[in-house]
């Protein structure tokens, strides 16, 4: 796979990873559902997916670049993803529903 595609994939992985980690938190789960519900169902699954997303992103960065550079790229994808997730939660929280379809009902 060409380097640019690997990097796009790394960004997507880390973005969804951060979004899943945000969804494990009650306040953000409620934002995404758009109501005040109880506990977060599937919290452990969400946490697992989140960690897997971030780890996958690191692996993809390592595939794309020399390790000394890949580490920098990965840390910055985390920052960019966290910022993006925070802003989506502030302005368009429903966009994250498709990452946890069971939140829809």
Partner 1 sequence: MLSSFRLSMTWLHTWFGLVLGYVLMVCFFFGSLSVFDREIDRWAIPETRYDPQPMPSFDTLLLPIFRSIQPREQSYARAQQRVVGPLPPREQMVANDFGAYTTHRDPVLGMFATFDVPNRPKDASVDHVHAFGSVTIDPRSGALISNDKLKIGSGFFYPLHYSLHLYWKNLGYWIVGLAALMMLAALVTGAIMHRKIFREFFTFRPNKQTQRSALDLHNLTGVVALPFHFFFAFTGLVIFAGIYLPVGGTMFKAQSEAHEKLEEAESGLPHEPAGIAAPLASVDAMVVEAQRRWAARGMPGEVGFLGVTHAGDANGYVSVYRAGTDRVTLTGEGIHFRASTGELLRENPPASVIGGIDDWLTGLHLQHFRHWLLRWFYVLGGLAGCVCIATGFIFFVEKRKRQHAKAGGSGIRWVDAMATTTVTGMLIATATMLVANRLLPDQLPQRGDWEQRVFWLAWFLAFLHAGWRSAPVAQARISPAWREQCYALAALCVAAPTLNWVTTGDHPLKTIAEGYWPVAGLDLVLLLAAALAATAARRLRRNERSVPVASARARAAMETVNA
Among residues 5, 37, 51, 69, the one that binds partner 1 under rule CB under 8 A: 69
* 52 interacts with partner 1 by CB under 8 A: no
The DSSP element (H or E) to which 38 belongs, if any, is none
* 83 interacts with partner 1 by CB under 8 A: yes
Of 90 and 105, CB closest to partner 1: 90
Of 30 and 105, CB closest to partner 1: 30
**Binding segment (CB under 8 A) for partner 1, from list 25-33, 34-42, 43-51, 52-60:** 25-33
> What's the rounded Cα separation, in Å, for the pair 49 and 73?
21
Write b or e for each residue in 66-89: b if 16 or more Cβ atoms lie within 10 A of its Cβ, otherwise e: eeeebeebbeebbeebbeebeebb
> What's the rounded Cα separation, in Å, for the pair 96 and 105?
14
CB of 69 to partner 1, least distance (A): 5
């Amino acid at each position: 796979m060409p380097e640019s595609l690997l990097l796009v994939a790394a960004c997507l992985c880390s973005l969804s990873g951060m979004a899943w980690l945000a969804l494990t938190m009650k306040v953000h789960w409620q934002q995404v559902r758009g109501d005040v519900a109880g506990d977060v169902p599937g919290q452990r699954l969400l946490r697992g997916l989140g960690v897997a997303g971030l780890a996958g992103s690191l692996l993809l960065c390592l595939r794309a670049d020399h390790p000394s550079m890949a580490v920098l790229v990965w840390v910055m994808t985390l920052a960019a993803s966290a910022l993006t997730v925070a802003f989506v939660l502030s302005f368009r929280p429903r966009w994250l529903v498709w990452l946890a379809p069971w939140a829809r009902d």
